[in-house]
Structure 1
Amino acid sequence: EHFCKIMQQTDPMFKSGKVMKVDQYHRLYWGQFTAFPLCDRDFVWRSLEVQQGTRRIIAVSKSVESDAMPPPGRSVVRGVLSAGYLVEEAEDGQSCKVVYFCQVDPKGWVPTWIVNWVASDQADNVTRIMNFIRNSKSQK
Structure 2
Amino acid sequence: MALQFEEQQFQEAWQELDEPRLEGGWEFFTETTGVKIYRLYQKQSGLYEYKVFGGLAGCTPELCADVYMDLDYRKEWDNYVKALYEKDYDGQKVIYWEVRYPFPMSNRDYIYVRDRQDLDINGRKIWVVLAKSISCSQCPEQSGVIRVNEYTQSLVLESDGDKGTKVYMYYFDNPGGMIPSWLINWAAKSGVPSFLTDMQKACRDYSKYCKKKQG
Q: Same fold (TM over 0.5)?
A: yes
Percent of pairs with identical residues: 17
Q: Secondary structure at the match of 1:32?
A: strand
Tell me the residue number matched to 2:139. Answer: 69
In the alignment, the residues of structure 1 paired with residue 207 and residue 129 of structure 2 have an alpha-carbon distance, to the nearest angstrom, of 19
Against the structure 1 CA distance between its residues 73 and 100, is the aligned structure 2 distance closer, same or farther, given a 3 Å change threshold? Answer: same
In the alignment, the residues of structure 1 paired with residue 76 and residue 166 of structure 2 have an alpha-carbon distance, to the nearest angstrom, of 21
Q: Secondary structure at the match of 2:200?
A: helix
Deviation at 1:89, TM superposition (A): 2.2
Q: Does 1:89 align with 2:151?
A: no
* Greater Rg over alpha carbons, structure: 2
Deviation at 1:27, TM superposition (A): 3.8
TM-score of the two chains, using structure 1 as the length reference:
0.77
Deviation at 1:22, TM superposition (A): 8.2
Confirm or deny: 8 A CA contact 1:98 1:126 kept in the other structure: no
Confirm or deny: 8 A CA contact 1:4 1:16 kept in the other structure: no
Q: Does 1:12 align with 2:82?
A: no
Deviation at 1:76, TM superposition (A): 0.3
Tell me the residue number matched to 1:44. Answer: 111
Higher relative contact order (CA 8 A, sep 6+): 2
Deviation at 1:42, TM superposition (A): 0.2
Confirm or deny: 8 A CA contact 1:100 1:126 kept in the other structure: no
Confirm or deny: 8 A CA contact 1:27 1:48 kept in the other structure: no
**Long gaps (5+) in structure 2:** 1-69, 211-215
Confirm or deny: 8 A CA contact 1:98 1:130 kept in the other structure: no
In the alignment, the residues of structure 2 paired with residue 67 and residue 29 of structure 1 have an alpha-carbon distance, to the nearest angstrom, of 13
In the alignment, the residues of structure 2 paired with residue 52 and residue 133 of structure 1 have an alpha-carbon distance, to the nearest angstrom, of 21
Deviations 1:76-119 (A, max 9, x none): 00012111211212444x11111122211001111234313322
Letter in 1 for 2:102: F
Deviation at 1:51, TM superposition (A): 2.5
In the alignment, the residues of structure 1 paired with residue 205 and residue 126 of structure 2 have an alpha-carbon distance, to the nearest angstrom, of 17
RMSD: 2.9
TM-score of the two chains, using structure 2 as the length reference:
0.53
**Long gaps (5+) in structure 1:** none
Query: Number of paired residues?
Result: 135
